[in-house]
Structure 1
Amino acid sequence: MQRALLIAGPTASGKTAYAIERAKPEGALIINTDSMQVYDVLNALTARPSADELAQAEHKLFGHVSPAQRYSTGGWLNDVAPLVDDAAASGRMLIFVGGTGLYFDALINGFAQIPEIPQEVIQEVEAVIQPMGEAERAAFIAAKDPKMAARLQAPDPQRVARAISVMEATNRSLADWQDDDNAPSLLEGWSLEKTVLNPERDLLRARIAKRFSMMMDGPAMEEVKALLALNLDPSLPAMRAIGVPELSAVLRGEMSLDEATEKAVTATRQYAKRQRTWFRTRMKDWHWIDPFA
């Protein structure tokens, strides 16, 4: 039977090292399952595997998307499908690793067949949501789409923008689309080992701070300069990656490097907390391990 290992976990939880450790004995293919690590340019800032790590096992779907694009869960599934077909034909084990719960959910349970949403609708909605705080976003989606608001564990900008855009374009709640029959799972019939990496909280907080410090000692600032040189729409997902707004403010002289680092570390810790909330709610039946115990 075809086998796949699914490795989820919050940012900085050691997923890359664990995936490589598991891939080596099997000759498995590692497939990115993180919505930020798909983007080109942002190598260090999204904590993509290093050149040394990439050399230890074959990796796919890392940095393969232009930051000028609005990549989606559906787009990711389209890119994954031929890799799954190839593995099924060869008998090769696959390892899916990342921190994007929606990708894992779509991979296992299939994906709602939602019509393509026009870019102008998405941009208009994102422009409205961008200045809002969490409480404002929660109130906004509760008013616009109460059914979907009840399903969101945390009203983060990307999910709120997605839900409102679908409502605006189709006059139908994203929740209703999700309740329709999904396309079948790409891994239907496969043997799945499902693991969530769950480090101790204080250790994870320390790892997040240390990792961002290492990014700053490396090419993070140069990556942001390269991204800004593309003159992209600031509402694009790549432009909102943690660290990009903060370091952009440094380059504009609006913020000190120490302040930007502090803000980015705080944002990363908040993101990790949201990830854990999602995993606890949606991945209760997965195998939870502390990779550093």
Structure 2
Amino acid sequence: MDEKYIVTSFTPAQNKDLPPAIFLMGPTASGKTDLAIELCEKLGCEIISVDSALIYKGMDIGTAKPSMEEQQKAPHRLIDILDPAESYSVADFRRDALSAMEEITKRGNVPLLVGGTMMYYKALVDGLSPLPESDKNVRLALDAQAKEQGWEALHNRLKEVDPESAARIHPNDPQRLTRALEVYLLTNRTMSDYLAIKSSPIPYNITQFCIAPSDRKVLHQRIALRFQLMMKAGFREEVEKLRARGDLHLDLPSMRCVGYRQMWQHLDGDFSEEIMLEKAIAATRQLAKRQLTWLRSWENIIPLDTFEENNLAKVIALVNFQR
């Protein structure tokens, strides 16, 4: 997440006078795209992608990007908007998504936000509080102090200046502890003060759905099968082409996407193709697990089973607007 921003929290009011929007969330390989296209065909919806990997050009196979045929049926916004050498912050997404939602609403259609990047959804709904730019010199000074006195001493210092943040941040969490102290040293304001600053509520009446197989083992099977299909579709060649550019490396957000890092390391000779497959599938399962963890704590969400035949009818019946 961009260091200049932090997600704040509030519950958006459900106001029927607001224009409608639909969220279709779910873990990777759960069937979001198929259902989203059906919704576009049946309702006046336009898709906005909520996926931090689909933003990159030339990364089609390993991201399971909707095919050209699928995009012709239902165009997706916020796909193929960035070169893999560039970065895209949570704040960038919130700005672009809200702009796209406004355009869609003005045309009399309904924004349908589809994807599994949960931090994007949270930032979109809950808003972002501006934080000062990180300062290298301040961080170096705090790191030096931690080496000399220990992180417990820095945590005690945070207790003195910002007891609320100190209660929330564990002494063994140096990244968050450093950031909280850095904010105070740079601005003479606490992290807690910044967290109290909230963006305006999202101006939409949102109906939220989560689609996933009811059996976690089935999701794992779908993930493994999809990666095997990616390999047959030329995933190796896709990553080889990216590596050949010469300006990409594994520290970039694009190359940290699941599958790409493992394939890159395999091409570097770090491990065999068999081990690469195991690592890539395991990393994708871990991604799905994190997504499901987010979704379990999400409020006002309507669950859908991937294999239910009446998902389309269920969504249409529950969406809070009349066509």
Please indicate the TM-score interval, normalised by the length of the shorter structure.
0.7 to 0.9
Aligned length: 265
How far 1:215 sits from its partner (Å)?
A: 0.6
SS in 1 for 2:23: strand
Task: Name which of 23, 26, 50 aligns with 1:33.
Answer: 50
Task: Name which of 87, 110, 118 aligns with 1:101.
Answer: 118
Distance 1:275 1:221 in 2: 26
| Kept after mapping to 2: 8 A contact 1:5/1:95 | yes
| Kept after mapping to 1: 8 A contact 2:56/2:254 | yes
Does 225-234 or 71-80 show the bigger shift?
A: 225-234
- AA paired with 1:232? L
Task: Name which of 211, 225, 233 aligns with 1:197.
Answer: 211
The answer as to 2:61 corresponding to 1:44 is: yes
Distance 2:35 2:104 in 1: 21
Distance 2:205 2:227 in 1: 36
The answer as to 2:272 corresponding to 1:272 is: no
SS in 2 for 1:192: strand
Task: Name which of 235, 253, 261 aligns with 2:277.
Answer: 261
Distance 1:207 1:164 in 2: 39
- Say if 1:260 and 1:225 are closer, same or farther in 2 by CA, change over 3 A: same
| Kept after mapping to 2: 8 A contact 1:113/1:177 | no
- AA paired with 2:212? N
Where does residue 183 of structure 2 map in the other structure? 170
| Kept after mapping to 2: 8 A contact 1:27/1:57 | no
The answer as to 2:305 corresponding to 1:285 is: no
Distance 2:28 2:92 in 1: 22
- Say if 1:149 and 1:275 are closer, same or farther in 2 by CA, change over 3 A: farther
Where does residue 40 of structure 2 map in the other structure? 23
How far 1:219 sits from its partner (Å)?
A: 2.5
Distance 2:253 2:166 in 1: 21
Task: Name which of 254, 265, 270 aligns with 1:238.
Answer: 254
Task: Name which of 94, 98, 121 aligns with 1:77.
Answer: 94
How far 1:166 sits from its partner (Å)?
A: 4.9
Please give the per-residue CA displacement for 1:26-81, whole angstroms capped at 9, x wherever unaligned: 23110011112212221111111111211111211012111112211101112123
Task: Name which of 219, 227, 231 aligns with 1:216.
Answer: 231
| Kept after mapping to 1: 8 A contact 2:184/2:190 | no
Distance 1:192 1:234 in 2: 37
Task: Name which of 104, 110, 114 aligns with 1:87.
Answer: 104
How far 1:95 sits from its partner (Å)?
A: 0.3
| Kept after mapping to 1: 8 A contact 2:27/2:116 | yes
Computing the radius of gyration from Cα coordinates, the structure with the larger value is 2
For structure 1, the residue ranges without an aligned partner over 5 or more in a row are: 126-139
| Kept after mapping to 2: 8 A contact 1:111/1:184 | no
Please give the per-residue CA displacement for 1:86-107, whole angstroms capped at 9, x wherever unaligned: 1232221110011111111122
- AA paired with 1:202? K
- Say if 1:258 and 1:77 are closer, same or farther in 2 by CA, change over 3 A: same
Please give the per-residue CA displacement for 1:129-156, whole angstroms capped at 9, x wherever unaligned: xxxxxxxxxxx9xx8899599589xx9x
SS in 1 for 2:129: coil
Distance 1:110 1:151 in 2: 21
- Say if 1:227 and 1:95 are closer, same or farther in 2 by CA, change over 3 A: same
| Kept after mapping to 2: 8 A contact 1:113/1:182 | no
| Kept after mapping to 1: 8 A contact 2:105/2:111 | no
- AA paired with 1:194? Q
| Kept after mapping to 1: 8 A contact 2:56/2:79 | yes
Q: CA RMSD in A?
A: 3.2
- AA paired with 2:64? A
Distance 2:263 2:105 in 1: 43
